[in-house]
């Protein structure tokens, strides 16, 4: 590779997303407003490069990715690489005011990160305001060249992004909710790759149609970019073989219906083993509580070669919206592959044993429509966003007045979390973090509460994967429940659904120094304050310390 000419050819070719074979990938994301037509509406939305969904990035394990993001819109922006561990490199993580100040209108920033030891389906999305509704796309990390999948190589792969569409402006929806104190308007439809699908009255040329050949196996890389809704996903007449979640391999299993929460990714294999025809793909909401939800299912099609243009579609009904058993069945079927090549490295001991209640409360609010404002909390703390980035404050030892590290590891008031709610539904406010020493081990029991109503919360941790060692309904019992923990092959994820009126227990090793956001991936709950952050100290020497910040890091 001595010739500079060859080098420059490779660099140029790396700028095209379809070309995988280079170890450094350069992309440019122009954040622009574009008019798009969906769901019978044409409206201006914020996009990357005018595309909706945004471009898919195809890379390989251990590759380096450089994305220059240029902000041409009126909003501040930042991009999160969801599920990328960003070892020692929080500067490229992306949540605004947590790891970076936003990229302001007219400015740009280069996200520079390496996919060390990671392969699978991840995605990227805006991490400020509600912009991720339209600013998102897939990040497909193939295994290293020559390394096979630990399951039969599919004949073809497709990215399938589930989303939510509002006919009105999404930022107006969020603003309206914040000023009234009431929940935001629900979306108008769900979408697959941004289209409502062939069963909707707005069916169009972009609908998701997977043309298949009899006998072949296909892999769907399913991503949920939905803002506030968790979605069931199934295909008429076809089993799904789940092989990977959140870019970690699982023991393959067959199931009819999966649940995809905002933030999660799931790879499934589908074998075209039916007589030629058309088969409905359907994604429909899951809600086993009283919270209003957009009940419009979205659809796609599997279309066999040899099926007639006129042939009927084999339909399948969406599951009942409140079918908790389907969620439980899917969640409890997931086990790490735990092979020699891909071992399950769940911590067997715990340095920090934490219990975090997660839920929604109500605060008094004189200026709000009903005299109250919806808030959300972890351990009764509604997180207040700082006005400068936490990671910078930490790195430069300027934390005073920005954050404190006294986040309570356990609820300050113990009550029956899933029983009669306390009379007082108010929460505390604060920018409080929880401090972890480098390489310490952490267990968090995420306990759903019902101050207002119980609900499932897909909790997402930045900077790490974690292992889900247990889950259950009701209040977590610290004596009995740990006896049932799976410490052999628990599933490894970055986003986990806490069941309605129940709990999940997760474990991780804090081997990534920096400041790492932990929040509900329902945008409405994040907005209401269901979020906090961990500050993980440096270990020994530069290899265990946060990297220096890049020179173009945005300032506040
Ligand atoms: C979108 O369409 C509207 C109405 O036709 C037009 O005024 C506006 O300039 C267009 N915006 C963009 C970014 O193309
Ligand atoms: C990306 O980061 C690497 C490692 O920190 C550094 O060596 C390289 O110069 C950076 N590249 C750019 C274009 O900033
Ligand atoms: C929210 O829904 C209400 C009732 O349908 C409607 O009046 C209002 O305009 C909507 N708000 C936005 C921002 O679309
Ligand atoms: C389905 O496949 C058939 C046969 O290959 C083709 O004629 C038809 O156009 C396809 N239908 C759609 C909706 O793509
Ligand atoms: C689920 O919803 C159906 C229809 O609304 C209702 O009849 C049923 O009681 C609900 N089941 C549970 C467990 O809430
Ligand atoms: C912050 O404080 C630590 C420990 O006191 C020190 O090692 C480090 O150099 C300081 N960082 C900066 C940027 O001043
Ligand atoms: C909490 O409340 C639930 C629902 O009312 C009840 O089933 C449970 O026994 C209560 N738990 C305790 C420890 O009191
Ligand atoms: C809550 O309110 C009810 C009814 O007003 C009252 O009976 C009960 O004692 C209160 N509970 C607490 C813990 O204050
Ligand atoms: C939450 O904090 C508020 C405000 O300090 C307090 O009034 C309330 O009792 C607390 N509730 C719980 C369950 O800790
Ligand atoms: C972290 O702790 C584990 C268990 O004590 C140990 O095996 C490992 O070497 C440590 N890693 C680092 C980087 O210190
Ligand atoms: C740090 O990591 C690099 C690359 O893995 C290695 O070459 C170097 O020896 C390490 N330095 C220390 C002090 O461990
Ligand atoms: C963008 O971010 C900067 C820095 O935090 C802030 O001062 C400014 O008000 C923000 N602009 C908008 C349009 O929100
Ligand atoms: Cu939530």
Residue 360 in tokens: 């929604």
**Distance from residue 461's CA to the centre of ligand 2 (Å):** 25
User: In angstroms, what is the span from residue 423 Cα to ligand 8's centroid?
Assistant: 6
The whole-angstrom separation of Cα 522 and Cα 460 is 10
Round to the nearest angstrom and report the end-to-end CA distance of the chain.
42
Q: How far is the CA of 123 from the centre of ligand 4 (A)?
A: 30
Which ligand 6 atom is nearest residue 397's CA?
1
What pLDDT was estimated at residue 9?
Answer: 42
Q: Which pLDDT score, from 0 to 100, does residue 19 have?
A: 54
Rounded to the nearest 10°, the torsion over CA 374, 379, 385, 391 is: -160
Cα of 521 to ligand 13 centre, how many Å? 6
User: How high is the pLDDT of residue 12?
Assistant: 46
Distance CA 284, CA 298 (A): 6
Q: Whose CA is nearest to atom 5 of ligand 1?
A: 35
Locate the ligand 11 atom nearest the alpha carbon of residue 541 and give its number. 13
CB-hemisphere CA count at 13 Å for 41? 13
Closest CA to 53 of 110, 138, 141: 138
The bound ligand whose nearest atom lies closest to the alpha carbon of 539 is 10
pLDDT at 17: 44
Ligand 5 contact, 44 CB (< 6 A): no
Shared fold status for 12-142 and 156-333: yes
pTM of the model: 0.95
Ligand nearest to the CA of 109: 2
Per-residue pLDDT of the chain (556 residues; tens, 9 = 90+): 333 333 344 444 455 444 567 899 999 999 999 999 998 999 999 999 999 999 999 999 999 999 999 999 999 999 999 999 999 999 999 999 999 999 999 999 999 999 999 999 999 999 999 999 999 999 999 999 999 999 999 999 999 999 999 999 999 999 999 999 999 999 999 999 999 999 998 888 899 999 999 999 999 999 999 999 999 999 999 999 999 999 999 999 999 999 999 999 999 999 999 999 999 999 999 999 999 999 999 999 999 999 988 889 999 999 999 999 999 999 999 999 999 999 999 999 999 999 999 999 999 999 999 999 999 999 999 999 999 999 999 999 999 999 999 999 999 999 999 999 889 999 999 999 999 999 999 999 999 998 888 899 999 999 999 999 999 999 999 999 999 999 999 999 999 999 999 999 999 999 999 999 999 999 999 999 999 999 999 999 999 999 999 999 999 9
Domain boundaries of the chain, sorted by first residue: 12-142, 156-333, 352-544
- Joined together, the tokens standing for residue 434 give 């929880």
Torsion sign, CA atoms 157, 492, 328, 451: negative
Per-residue pLDDT, 16: 47
Helix (H, G, I), strand (E, B) or coil at 108: strand
The helix (run of H) or strand (run of E) holding residue 311 is none
Measured CA to CA, the distance from residue 237 to residue 415 in angstroms comes to 46
Whole-angstrom CA distances from 280 to 222, 314, 327, 507 are 16, 6, 21, 38
Name residues whose C-beta falls within 8 Å of residue 68's C-beta, 6 or more positions apart in sequence: 26, 27, 28, 29, 108, 109, 110
Pocket lining: 439 vs ligand 10, CB cutoff 6 Å? yes
Q: How far is the CA of 10 from the centre of ligand 7 (A)?
A: 63
Residue nearest to ligand 2 atom 2, measured at CA: 112
Q: Which CATH homologous superfamily contains domain 12-142?
A: Cupredoxins -  blue copper proteins (2.60.40.420)
* Cα separation, 432 vs 408, whole angstroms: 9
Atom of ligand 2 nearest to the CA of 547: 5
CATH number, span 352-544: 2.60.40.420
Q: Helix and strand tally (H, E) in the chain?
A: 5, 33
Please tell me the predicted confidence (pLDDT) of residue 203: 87
Return d(Cα 177, Cα 183) in angstroms, integer: 6
Report the pocket of ligand 6 as residue ranges, CB < 6 Å.
396-397
Assigned token pair, 354: 């934490």
Minimum CA distance residue for ligand 10 atom 7: 439
Cα–ligand 10 centroid distance for 246 (angstroms): 24
State the Cα–Cα distance between residues 379 and 406, nearest whole angstrom: 12
Nearest bound ligand to the CA of residue 43: 1
Ligand 2: residue of 89, 112, 514, 547 to mutate (most ligand atoms within 8 A of CB) is: 112
Range 156-333: architecture per CATH: Sandwich (2.60)
Residue with CA nearest ligand 10 atom 5? 439
Q: What is the pLDDT of residue 15?
A: 52
Q: How far apart are CA 129 and CA 458, in angstroms?
A: 18
Q: What is the per-residue pLDDT for 11?
A: 46
């Amino acid at each position: 590779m001595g010739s500079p000419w060859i080098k420059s050819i490779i660099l140029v070719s790396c700028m095209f997303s379809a070309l995988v074979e280079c170890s450094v990938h350069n992309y440019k994301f122009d954040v622009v407003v574009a008019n798009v037509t969906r769901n019978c509406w044409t409206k201006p939305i914020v996009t990357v490069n005018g595309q909706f969904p945004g471009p898919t990035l195809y890379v390989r394990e251990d590759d380096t990715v450089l994305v220059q993001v240029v902000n041409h819109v009126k909003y501040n922006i930042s991009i999160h690489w969801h599920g990328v561990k960003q070892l020692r490199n929080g500067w490229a993580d992306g949540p605004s005011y947590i790891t970076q100040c936003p990229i302001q209108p007219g400015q740009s920033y280069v996200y520079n990160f390496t996919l060390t030891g990671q392969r699978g389906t991840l995605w990227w999305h805006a991490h400020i305001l509600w912009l991720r509704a339209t600013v998102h796309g897939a990040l497909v990390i193939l295994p290293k060249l020559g390394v096979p999948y630990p399951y039969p190589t599919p004949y073809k792969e497709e990215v399938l992004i589930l989303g939510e569409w509002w006919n009105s402006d999404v930022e107006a929806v969020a603003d309206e909710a914040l000023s009234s104190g009431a929940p935001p308007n629900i979306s108008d439809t769900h979408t697959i790759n941004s289209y409502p699908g062939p069963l909707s009255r707005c069916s169009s040329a972009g609908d998701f149609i997977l043309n298949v050949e009899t006998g072949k196996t296909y892999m769907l890389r399913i991503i949920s970019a939905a803002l506030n809704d968790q979605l069931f996903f199934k295909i008429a007449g076809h089993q799904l073989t789940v092989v990977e979640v959140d870019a970690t391999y699982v023991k393959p299993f067959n199931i009819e219906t999966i649940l995809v929460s905002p933030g999660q990714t799931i790879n499934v294999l589908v074998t075209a083993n039916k007589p030629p025809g058309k088969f409905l793909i359907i994604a429909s909401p899951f809600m086993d509580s009283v919270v209003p939800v957009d009940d419009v299912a979205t659809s796609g099609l599997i279309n066999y070669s040899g099926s007639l243009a006129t042939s009927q579609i084999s339909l399948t009904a969406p599951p009942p919206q409140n079918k908790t058993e389907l969620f439980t069945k899917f969640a409890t079927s997931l086990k790490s592959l735990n092979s020699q090549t891909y071992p399950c490295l769940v911590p067997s001991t715990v340095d920090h044993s934490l219990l975090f209640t997660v839920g929604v409360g109500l605060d008094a609010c004189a200026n709000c429509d009903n005299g109250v404002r919806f808030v959300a909390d972890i351990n009764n703390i509604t997180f207040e966003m700082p006005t400068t980035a936490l990671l910078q404050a930490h790195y430069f030892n300027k934390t005073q007045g920005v954050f404190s590290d006294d986040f309570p590891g356990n609820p300050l008031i113990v009550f029956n979390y899933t029983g009669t709610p306390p009379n007082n539904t108010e929460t505390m406010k604060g920018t409080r973090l929880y401090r972890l020493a480098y390489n310490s081990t952490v267990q968090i029991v995420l306990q759903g509460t019902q101050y207002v109503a119980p609900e499932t919360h897909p909790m997402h941790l930045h900077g790490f994967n974690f292992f889900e060692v247990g889950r259950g309904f009701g209040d977590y019992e610290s004596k009995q429940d740990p006896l049932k923990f799976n410490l052999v092959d628990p599933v490894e994820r970055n986003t986990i659904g806490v069941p309605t009126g129940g709990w999940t227990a997760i474990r991780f090793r804090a081997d990534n120094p920096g400041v790492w956001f932990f929040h509900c991936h329902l945008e409405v709950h994040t907005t209401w304050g269901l979020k906090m952050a961990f500050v993980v100290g440096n270990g020994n020497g530069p290899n265990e310390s946060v990297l220096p910040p890049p020179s173009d890091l945005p300032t506040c």
